[in-house]
Amino acid sequence: MAEGRRDPQPGDLIEIFRPLYQHWALYVGDGYVIHVTDEEASSIFLSSSSISATRAKVKMELLKDVVKNDNWRVNNKFDRSRTPRPVKEIIRDAEQWIGKEVSYDVLKKNCEHFVTMLRYGKGVSEQAEKAVFGGATALLGTALLGALAVLRVALSGGKSKI
């Protein structure tokens, strides 16, 4: 079932809502997308998001086959802040990657980085940034709470009221 605009145009970014993450593909026309996928994944939960994956493959497949039963939408999310490259260049560059094995890192070089690099000339992944900064924020919060507890004990003369 599709969500959002149902008529993708060549060069559009396609966001696919998987159960635990978003998978990204680039629409190239005639119902096809180009995307980075972890071929070794044995389940949809691991495909293109496997933390242990270090290599992935660039494939051209029908959008309906990549989406399966998941929701999707056209999401050219950076068009307001970045100028998309010319569509012919986006498609030409994307097609050069088909069938190639690429390095893959869920936080630094994932499917979202791949398609935003093609569309805008710079790879960006908001979901990776959220994972990194969200994890860093949680770690910082824990460290601050620990430091406050130590400070409280030190200020109370080493006597805890617990």
The SS3 assignment for 63 reads helix
Instruction: Give the length of the chain.
Output: 162
| C-alpha angle 2-81-22 in degrees, rounded to nearest 5 | 35
pLDDT band at 150 (very low <50, low <70, confident <90, very high): very low
Give how far the C-alpha of residue 82 lies from the chain's centroid of Cα atoms, to the nearest Å: 18
DSSP β-ladder status, 55-62 and 71-74: unpaired
Our answer to whether residue 102 is catalytic in this structure is: no
Residue range 12-28: mean pLDDT, rounded: 95
pLDDT band at 126 (very low <50, low <70, confident <90, very high): confident
**Secondary structure of the chain in the HEC alphabet?**
CCCCCCCCCCCCEEEEECCCCEEEEEEEECCEEEEEECCCCCCCCCCCCCCCCCEEEEEEEEHHHHHCCCEEEECCCCCCCCCCCCHHHHHHHHHHHCCCEEECECCCECHHHHHHHHHHCCCCCHHHHHHHHHHHHHHHHHHHHHHHHHHHHHHCCCCCCC
Q: Which of 29-38, 56-65, 115-124, 153-162 has the lowest mean pLDDT?
A: 153-162
Average pLDDT score, the chain: 79
Residue range 20-33: mean pLDDT, rounded: 96
Quick one: which of 87, 79, 72 has its CA closest to 16?
A: 72
Q: Which of 52-66, 77-91, 92-106 has the lowest mean pLDDT?
A: 52-66
Separation of alpha carbons 47 and 45, rounded Å: 6
- Of the candidates 58, 74, 106, 111, the residue annotated as catalytic is 111
- Of the candidates 15, 21, 23, 26, the residue annotated as catalytic is 23
Q: Looking at the DSSP assignment, which residues form a beta bridge with residue 36? A: 58
Residue range 111-135: mean pLDDT, rounded: 83
pLDDT at 78 > cutoff 50: yes
pLDDT at 85 > cutoff 50: yes
Our answer to whether residue 35 is catalytic in this structure is: no
Choice between 38 and 59, residue whose per-residue pLDDT is larger: 59
